């Protein structure tokens, strides 16, 4: 069972991401409503993939990525951004910080599942 951390402040979008990925056997979903909550969960949950929004209260997605990529315990974990921020600049910044993939909302569920499968086998 692979564990996926979804960090998204919108309950509707978090639910949509969770139900999309949860529709496939073999994935367990852990949800965080903020970057701060995600950082609190990381030491307790052994996650295999992190999906994060960018725009969130307290710790935003870019700060979360920066923390994960600079921490030896978590830097190996694949990380996706799913955000409404769709400019080339946002995309480049997210990938430069260490995100593996960047999907723009509204995301294509089939593409999301393809990417999850690619990274988690």
pLDDT tens for the chain, 121 residues long, are: 999 999 999 999 999 999 999 999 999 999 999 999 999 999 999 999 999 999 998 899 999 999 999 999 999 999 999 999 888 998 999 999 999 999 999 999 999 999 999 999 8
Residue 15 has a pLDDT of: 97
Q: What pLDDT is recorded for position 56?
A: 92
What's the rounded Cα separation, in Å, for the pair 79 and 37?
16
Task: Classify domain 2-120 at the CATH class level.
Answer: alpha beta
Compute the distance between CA of residue 84 and CA of residue 60 in angstroms, rounded to an integer.
13
Separation CA 92–CA 119 (nearest Å) = 20
The per-residue pLDDT for 57 is: 87
Domain ranges within the chain, ordered by starting residue: 2-120
Token look-up 């974990």 returns 77
């Amino acid at each position: 069972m692979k564990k996926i951390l979804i960090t998204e402040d919108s309950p509707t979008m978090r639910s949509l991401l969770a139900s999309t990925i949860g529709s496939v056997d073999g994935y367990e979903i852990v949800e965080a409503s903020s970057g701060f909550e995600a950082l609190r969960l990381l030491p307790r949950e052994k996650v295999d993939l992190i999906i994060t929004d960018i725009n969130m209260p307290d710790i935003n997605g870019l700060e979360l990525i920066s923390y994960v990529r600079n921490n030896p315990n978590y830097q190996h974990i694949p990380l996706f951004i799913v955000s409404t921020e769709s400019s080339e600049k946002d995309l480049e910044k997210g990938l430069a910080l260490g995100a593996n993939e960047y999907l723009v909302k509204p995301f294509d569920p089939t593409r999301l599942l393809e990417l999850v499968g690619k990274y988690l086998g």
